[in-house]
């Protein structure tokens, strides 16, 4: 059979066709009125997409660049910081903070679980300068309770709260200003449906003030310099201009999803991810598979434990070779133990039931056991039908 290449990875995610067209035809120089107009429009829209009154920046780098900036701009060597970690991206915060000489304390949860609020409360002292966490830990499929953690951090006046929401933005409700998140970070290759290369984020006034005294070295990722340039509708260095054109098109698409309201479109995108995730969880469980993060599953992606006796590397390989579907394996020491199906951004009903139908074949092959074809698809359809019935009732009630 014909095979279409389809990404089900939690970044990069499938590209929005309108954004691809916009990128292919964009050729303006970055120090021109044309680009300044595009840049201003993108910053305004990103601000609305994040849902904040804080200043936003869009950097030409992968998401990790903005993570690094959130360490180097906010800390001085020797500063005590607290990292809340439950996976490979949490561990990245620890490595980054150590690279800049911070004294790193951690609250650690086993892979597949979420952070214990009790332990956070215990470790959170006024000497902690910054707290770093993920909104959704893409390596395990777990969602952390950012609102509850924010409440604990906000009780301390001088502790900054930084959230890597690179797979959280556009898949999870995050009230950045209401909860008091000082830095929130997103990446272009996730919910915004364009290729890798841009990182975006919002920065609170408290965080801007900290930058005045923070002494860690920084140059390319000096956020104060970017803020100054942004005030003149420019970037400090050469930006990835075509990605900005793609981002503008993607944000327009999200606005259309909200009938002209970008924030409503973002909420619709979140609801879409939530429904794709609920369908997928029902489908994999109907097949007898176990979720890798059952207690707190993210809408960004579903991580599924490899069935007993099977290796997820073979499962991912089979998906790719038989169906052209790129499903993510476990990272590092989790390789072989789980596979991950993303719901971030540009996924619809047919993508979701399609990948579940393929999964039925893949699991039959991987376990050598008979699979009742249609069982995963049917469970997903039932979730979908119930969700549709519910939206219909709400419309009628109104």
Enumerate the β-bridge partners of residue 60.
Answer: 198
CA–CA dist 287, 16 (Å, integer): 31
- When the beta carbons of 167 and 352 are compared against ligand PLP, the nearer one is 167
The DSSP output letter for 156 is: S
Q: Is 186 in the site for ligand PLP (CB under 6 A)?
A: no
Give the residue, chosen from 35, 49, 89, 221, that forms a contact with ligand PLP under the rule CB under 6 A: 89
Question: For residue 29, with 0-12 CB atoms within 10 Å meaning exposed, 13-18 middle and 19 or more buried, which class applies?
Answer: exposed
Enumerate the β-bridge partners of residue 339.
Answer: 304, 329
CA–CA dist 298, 32 (Å, integer): 41
Q: What is the 3-state secondary structure (H, E, C) of 281-320?
A: HHHHHHCCCCECCCCCECCCEEEEECCCCCCHHHHHHHHH
∠ CA 201-352-385, rounded to 5° = 110
Q: Is 85 in the site for ligand PLP (CB under 6 A)?
A: no
- When the beta carbons of 64 and 256 are compared against ligand PLP, the nearer one is 64
The DSSP output letter for 334 is: G
Q: Is 14 in the site for ligand PLP (CB under 6 A)?
A: no
Which of the stretches 27-35, 57-65, 151-159, 302-310 binds ligand PLP when contact is defined by CB under 6 A? 57-65
Q: In angstroms, give the least distance from the CB of 37 to ligand PLP.
A: 27
Q: In angstroms, give the least distance from the CB of 368 to ligand PLP.
A: 33
- When the beta carbons of 130 and 310 are compared against ligand PLP, the nearer one is 130
Instruction: Give the per-residue contact string, 189-218, with ligand PLP (x = CB under 6 A; - = no).
Output: -------x----------------------
Which of the stretches 140-148, 164-172, 231-239, 387-395 binds ligand PLP when contact is defined by CB under 6 A? 164-172
CA–CA dist 194, 216 (Å, integer): 32
Length of the chain: 398
CA–CA dist 320, 202 (Å, integer): 37
Give the N- to C-terminal CA distance of the chain in Å, as an integer: 47
Q: In angstroms, give the least distance from the CB of 307 to ligand PLP.
A: 25
Q: Is 138 in the site for ligand PLP (CB under 6 A)?
A: yes
Residue 263 vs residues 20, 180, 280, 314, 385: alpha-carbon distances, Å: 23, 19, 26, 41, 26
Q: Is 10 in the site for ligand PLP (CB under 6 A)?
A: yes
- When the beta carbons of 11 and 112 are compared against ligand PLP, the nearer one is 11
Strand, coil or helix: 57: strand
Q: Is 64 in the site for ligand PLP (CB under 6 A)?
A: yes
∠ CA 203-204-207, rounded to 5° = 85
- When the beta carbons of 168 and 283 are compared against ligand PLP, the nearer one is 168
Q: Is 134 in the site for ligand PLP (CB under 6 A)?
A: yes
- When the beta carbons of 136 and 352 are compared against ligand PLP, the nearer one is 136
Q: Is 94 in the site for ligand PLP (CB under 6 A)?
A: no
Give the residue, chosen from 186, 187, 297, 330, that forms a contact with ligand PLP under the rule CB under 6 A: 187
Residues forming the site for ligand PLP (CB under 6 A):
10-11, 62-64, 89, 134, 138, 164, 166-167, 187, 196
């Amino acid at each position: 059979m014909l095979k279409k290449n389809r990404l089900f990875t939690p970044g990069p995610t499938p590209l929005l066709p309108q954004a691809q067209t916009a990128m292919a035809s964009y050729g303006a120089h970055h120090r021109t009125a044309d680009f300044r107009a595009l840049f201003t429009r993108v910053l305004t829209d990103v601000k609305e997409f994040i849902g904040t009154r804080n200043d936003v920046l869009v950097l030409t780098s992968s998401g990790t660049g903005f993570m690094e900036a959130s360490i180097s701009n906010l800390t001085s060597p020797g500063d005590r910081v607290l990292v809340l970690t439950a996976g490979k991206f949490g561990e990245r915060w620890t490595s980054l903070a150590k690279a800049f000489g911070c004294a790193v304390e951690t609250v650690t949860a086993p892979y597949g679980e979420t952070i214990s609020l009790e332990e956070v409360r215990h470790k959170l002292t006024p000497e902690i300068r910054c707290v770093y966490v993920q909104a959704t830990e893409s390596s395990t499929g777990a969602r952390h309770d950012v609102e509850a953690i924010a409440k604990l951090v906000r009780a301390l006046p001088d502790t900054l709260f930084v959230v890597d929401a690179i797979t959280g933005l556009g898949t999870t409700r995050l009230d950045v200003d209401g909860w008091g998140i000082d830095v929130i970070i997103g990446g272009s290759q996730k919910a915004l449906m364009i290729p890798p290369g841009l990182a975006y984020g919002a920065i609170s006034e408290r965080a801007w003030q900290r930058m005045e005294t923070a002494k860690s070295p920084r140059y390319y990722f000096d956020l104060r310099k970017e803020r100054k340039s942004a005030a003149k509708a420019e970037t400090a260095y050469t930006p990835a201009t075509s990605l900005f054109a793609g981002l503008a098109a993607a944000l327009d698409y999200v606005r259309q999803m909200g009938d002209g309201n970008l924030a409503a479109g973002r909420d619709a995108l979140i609801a879409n991810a939530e429904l794709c995730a609920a369908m997928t969880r029902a489908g994999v469980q109907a097949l007898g598979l176990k979720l890798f993060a059952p207690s707190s599953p993210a809408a960004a992606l579903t991580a599924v434990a490899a069935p007993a006796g099977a290796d997820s590397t073979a499962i991912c390989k089979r998906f790719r070779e038989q169906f052209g579907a790129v499903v993510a394996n476990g990272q590092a020491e989790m390789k072989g133990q789980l596979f991950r199906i993303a719901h971030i951004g540009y996924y619809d009903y047919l993508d979701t039931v399609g990948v579940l139908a393929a999964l039925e074949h893949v699991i039959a092959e991987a376990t050598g056991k008979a699979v009742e074809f249609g069982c995963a698809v049917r469970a997903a359809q039932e979730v979908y039908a119930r969700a549709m019935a519910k939206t219909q009732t709400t419309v009628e009630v109104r």
